[in-house]
Amino acid sequence: MGSYLATVARLAVLAVLMLIALGFVRVLIELAIEKRRKRRLTATRDISTLSPSDFEQYVAALFEKAGYRVVRTGGSGDGGVDLLVKRRGTTSVVQCKRYEDTIGPSTIRELIGAMTNAGIKDGLLITTSDFTAGAEREARRAPYKIDLVDGERLVHWARTYGLPGEVMDRGVKQGIGRRRGSGRVKREG
C-alpha cells in the first residue's frame, strides 16, 4: 500500500510540474505572438489600412518608443479611453480615431467626457484624418489640456521614432496642413 501511495504522490507532483511547465510555455508563446504583432504593426506603411484595434496598438507602440508607460484599455465598454499613457508623473487619456472623415467638435466633447469620467485632466486625440476648425475651437475651450494629433503630425511622429508610416488614402504629405497643439507627444527626456 505504501508503494502505491508513493507512486501516486510522484505522479501528482509530476502532473503539477507539467501544468506549471505548460503554463510557462503558454506565456512564452503569447509573448512571442505579441512581439511579432507589434513588429508587424510598427512596420505598417499605410496606417489607414489598419483596423481600429490595430491602430490603437500602433499608437501604443509609438508612445512606448517615446518613453511612456502605456495601458491599453480600448474595446467595448472602455468609456472612451483607448489608452492611458504615463510619463514623469503625468497620466493622459488617449483616444485613437482611424477615420477617413474629418473630426468634428462632437468627438472632442466625447473625449472631454471620457477625461471627466477617468478623472484625468490631460488628453490626446490622435487620428489618421484631420480636425475641423470647430473641433480645434472646442479643444481650446475645454476645461482640460487637449492635444490634437492629425494624420500629418502622426506620420511625422512615427518617422521621428524610425517607424514607417503614411496615411496614403488621405494624401498626407510633409508640409501640408495646419500644426496645432503643443507637440507634447514629441517631447524627449
- The percent of residues in the chain predicted with pLDDT above 70, rounded, is 76
pLDDT value at residue 156: 87
Q: Which of 150, 109, 110 is nearest to 130 (CA)?
A: 150
H helices present in 43-150, as ranges: 52-65, 105-118, 133-141
Task: Determine the topology of domain 46-186 in CATH.
Answer: Trna Endonuclease; Chain: A, domain 1 (3.40.1350)
User: 3-state class of 80 per DSSP?
Assistant: coil
pLDDT at 171 over 70: no
CA–CA separation, 169 vs 124, rounded Å?
23
Average pLDDT over residues 161-179: 48
Contact 130, 150 (CB under 8 A): yes
Virtual torsion, Cα 50, 41, 145, 171, nearest 10 deg: -50
Model confidence at 29, pLDDT cuts 50, 70, 90, reads: confident
Tens digits of residue pLDDT in 60-114: 888 988 899 998 886 666 677 889 999 999 999 999 998 888 999 999 999 999 9
- The pLDDT of residue 133: 95
Q: Which residue has the higher pLDDT, 6 or 162?
A: 6
